Each structure stands twice: as structure tokens, then as C-alpha cells.
Structure 1
Amino acid sequence: MGRKLCVINQKGGVGKTTSVMNIGIGMKNAGKRVLLIDLDPQANLTSALGFQPQQLESTVYEWMKGETSFEDTALEYQGLYLIPSNVELSAADIELSQVTGRELLLKKAMDGVLDRFDCILIDCSPTLGLLALNALTAVHEVLVPIQPEYLPLEGVSYLMRTIELAQQRLNHDLKVGGVIVTRYDGRRNLHREVVDIIRTHFEDKLFNTFIRNNVALAEAPSYGKDIFTYKPDSNGAQDYEALCKEILMREVV
């Protein structure tokens, strides 16, 4: 069975969508069959891959509810597939609040396509509500991107408690697959200090590859491209390629 991962952090601006997009492409470049799922009402992943969210008739919301098929929802980009999102997903917490098994909707939708993919990667919204619970119920591994500054670090303990609750109540197989340091600048004392704190707290969960601060990573989504397509020789492309190799080598037990 393929790997099921979500990238989650309730703090915005830590490189969550950038990581999903470029890890997905990196996995595809390594020969894996990849599905990306945009589970964020802001639809940043959908937009970053060059699609227009408000022009889509079928999105992850309809797919989760069983109102549309995978074939009618999935979009293709550079050899991988995307289940897109748009702003209608923001109604999920209210509309699904009375639905029985509401935390299992995404898992049930994913179960129908597991045999098609080696890697399914979910981009979560920057909130820890029903959508995040759906992601945490549907996957086996959580990847946590952290910007090496104190404010982004403060919210991680709350995120860890949410993951622990999901483990206890909804998904006993759930594990923290790794912590990704993003927007890293080794010349800054603050970044080095925060990384030392992260390493002390997470130990072997911290990936050795840090995603360096790189202008090309910020520019690529505005062109609807991943970093490997936009600037394959950039530090961003090198870092995400190295990170993908680590993820592929790392077994969650």
C-alpha cells in the first residue's frame, strides 16, 4: 500500500503549500505515482499549480461527500494528479457538523483510489477544525513544516496535542513522520538557535535537509509552476530534491 501523508501547521506562512507541491513533484521525479489533495479553502495549492479554483465544477468537497467521482474531479499536472479545492470548502465545518462519521469522509474517498498511487499528500488548512481531523484520520504520517522563528514555534505544542488526540480517538496508526525546517538562513543566529530547540524537542523527527530561504520558491507559484520546472538549478530545487530522498528513505514505525 502507498504512503499517505499530510502537511499540517496551524500557523500560516511556514511553507506548507510550497512543501506539498514540491515534495509531490520530487516524488513523481523519483518514479512514484503521486496524488496531491488540496484540503484548504484558500486553494493555494490549486492556484500554485496553475488552475483557477472558482472555475472548477468539481472539487475535494464534492469528492469527499461522494457527489462526484475521482475521474471527474482530479486534474493532471506534470505527471501527477491533484484533487483541487476552492472557497466552497470553507462551509465544511458548518455543513458537515451533523453528518455521521464526518471525520471519515476524506478517508472513505481516498480508500477508493489507494491502489492507483504510491504517495498521497494532503495540503491542510491553517486551522485545526473538521478538515484537519479528516486529514489526520486519513493518513499514516504527518509532516510538520516549521519556520525557524519563535512565534511559529509557539503553536507547535498545540498542534502536537491535536495530533495526539487524533491518535487516541480516530487513528491509532498516525505518526509524526518528520519535521521540516523551512525558510532557513544559516547566517542568522536566531535561526540556528531555534533549530537547536527544534532538534532537542523532536530529536530524530527533524529532517537533516533544511529548506533554505530562496526567492525562486516564492516566485514559482505566481507562474503556476513547481520549483523543479521554474528554476531546476536553484537552492530550492536542490533542497526539495534532497528532502524527498530523506522522506523516501525514512520508514515510520
Structure 2
Amino acid sequence: MPRKICFVNYKGGVGKTSMIVNIAACLAHTGKKVLLVDLDTQSNASIWLMRLDRWNKLNINGEGSIFSIFEPGQQTLSDILVRDVVSSKTDENLLPGFDLLPTTFNLVDLENEFPANPAEPPFLRFYRQLREIENNYDYVLFDCPPNVLRASQCGIFSSNEIYVPANPDALSLIGFTLLVEKLLLFHQRSASFREPGMGRPALCRGVIFNSIKANVDIEVPKMRMQLRINQFRNQRRIDPTTKIFEAQIRDAMVVRRAVTLGLPVTLVGQVAKEEDSVATDYQRVAAELDQHEAMA
């Protein structure tokens, strides 16, 4: 059974997509089978990994993305799966076992225009279809927008764990606080839809500091975040093992370059070989995430 993990914070702009794409790539590089599920209507992870030319075809056709499973004549998640998504411009497979469930801009219609069936809300349909393919993977990672609306609910309902990307600032702390409150409300409202064998609803298990600028002291923001984690842990609103990751990710121009190239940072030329680079940061976070499983 895979580990199913949401990356979400109620604050946007924390570098969530760059984090999830590069962590997924690091896990795949170590031989793990990884499925990245893009549930963010901005589609950044899908555009990055498929490159604009391939992704544009999905966006124009209106088929082959996650929203397709909610439309008449539905495709299934199995139908839209993009296998071995990380490739060179000559279609050479660069990261075997790294697959993608892509999204396009039409996913925003799930929030307002989709006529939800009260007996089968979108998150339940998504969960049932994901169940058909999830055991092909060691990890299923959900890239969620900064909210707990319908698209995010698909990932949250299906996942076992939640990790919060954060910047060393007050807004990330506020976003974490709001997320915990909204998660509890959603879990209460969706409790009647949980099926046998699902286990408990996903709770926050970790905070990962990301996009840290050079020469910035993050000890005070970390202390404030730790105090909030302690408070929530005492209130049993988060997982007892929740922690701030020791590994953290620096800000680096190569991340923007990687997006342009359509590659994870670990595959960008010389950077991947440097001993002290942001690629190493992602590798350390991925390793800590992999090890954190034993504490569950």
C-alpha cells in the first residue's frame, strides 16, 4: 500500500509546486515508484513536467486531465495517466516510475459549475478511481491549491498524511493555523463517506521550510512554528509525530531554470552533481520524508 501524501498550506506562494515536483523526482531517482497528482487549477506541475507543447493539447481538447473524470462520458484516472512523464526533448525516459495525473485550467469548474451528486461528492468519486491504480506505486503525492475546496478535498480525502510547505514568515504560520482548522471541519463533514479500510483521516505530520533566502536567520520563525505545533499537538488536532523537518530548502535561480527546461532540479546539468546545492536540499528532504514513515 502506498504512502499517500498531500502538500498544502493555506498560504499561497510558498514554493509548494517546486517542492513536490523535486521531492517526487528524488524519490523516483532512488527507485521508488511515484505518482504525482496535480490538483492545483494553476496546473503548474503539469505544465512543468509535460512541457507547454504537450500540456497545451490537453488544455485545448478539454480531455485527458483530472476534470475529465467528472464530465459526461467520463474518462477514468487510469485513462488519463501520463506514464514516465519526465523525458528529454527526444522522448528519452529520464526517470522511470515517475507518473503524473495532469490537470488543466478547466479544473476550476469543479468548484462552481460542476453539479455535485450528494450521494457521491467529487472527493469520493476521485478516491474510488484512485484506489484502482494506487497500489502500483510506493508514493502518491498530491499537489493541492491553498484551500480546502473541492479539488483539494480530492487529495485530502484520499491521503494518509499532510505536509505543509512554509516560508520563514508570519503569513506561513497563519496559513498553517487556518489549514488545521479547515481540515478538521472537512473531516467532520466527510466522515460519513469514509469506507472500510481507509484508516483515519489525514492529519498534518510535518512542516518543511522552503525558498529560504541567503543570509536569512530563520530561527525565530522556526521557534514560533514549533510553539504552534506544540499547541496543536496538545489539542490532538495534528498527528503526534508532527515535526519541523531538519532538512530545509534554499532559494535558488536554478529552480526557475528547471521549470523552463521541463526538468526536476536533480536533472539540470552540473547542479545535480554539486555537493552543496539546492538539489542536495531536495534529496535531504526526500530522505527525511521517507524515514519519517517509521514514526507513524
> Are positions 1:135 and 2:155 aligned together?
yes
Query: Aligned residue for 2:181?
Result: 161
1:20-99 pair list within 5 angstroms? 20-52=20-52, 53-56=55-58, 57-63=63-69, 67-75=74-82, 76-77=85-86, 78-79=95-96, 80-99=98-117
Alignment partner of 1:180 is 2:208: yes
Cα deviation per residue 1:160-208 (whole Å; 9 max; x = unaligned)? Answer: 111222333436331212111001246224x331122112222552111
- Number of the residue aligned with 1:200: 227
Which residue, out of 245, 262, 266, partners 1:228?
266
Shift of 1:72: 3.3
Query: How many angstroms apart in 2 are the aligned matches of 1:156 and 1:2?
Result: 25
**Structure 1 length-normalised TM:** 0.91
Q: Which amino acid aligns with 2:34?
A: V
Matches of 1:121 and 1:109, distance apart in 2: 16
Q: Percent identity?
A: 25
Amino acid at match of 1:183: S
2:287 — aligned with what? 245
| Distance across 2 between alignment mates of 1:177 and 1:83 | 24
CA offset at residue 122 of structure 1? 0.7
CA distance in 2, matches of 1:72, 1:148: 40
Larger Rg: 2
> What value does the CA root-mean-square deviation take over the aligned residues?
2.0
Q: Which moved more, 1:28-37 or 1:152-161?
A: 152-161
For residues 13 and 235 of structure 1, the distance between their equivalents in structure 2, rounded to whole angstroms, comes to 22
Are residues 128 and 70 of structure 1, via their aligned partners in 2, closer, same or farther at CA, if it must alter by over 3 Å? closer
Pairwise CA distance, 1:97? 4.6
Matched, 1:124 2:131: no
**Structure 1: runs of 5 or more not aligned:** none
Write the distance in 2 (CA, Å) between the matches of 1:130 and 1:222.
Answer: 30
CA distance in 2, matches of 1:208, 1:64: 40
How far apart, CA to CA, are the structure 1 residues paired with 2:68 and 2:108?
13
Alpha-carbon shift at residue 235 of structure 1 (Å): 1.8
Return 5+ residue gaps in structure 2 as ranges: 87-94, 192-199, 231-241
Residue type at the aligned position of 2:139: C
Hey, what's the Cα distance between the residues in 1 that align with 2:49 and 2:25? 11
User: What residue is the counterpart of 1:4 in the other structure?
Assistant: 4
The two structures have a TM-score, normalised by structure 2, of: 0.79
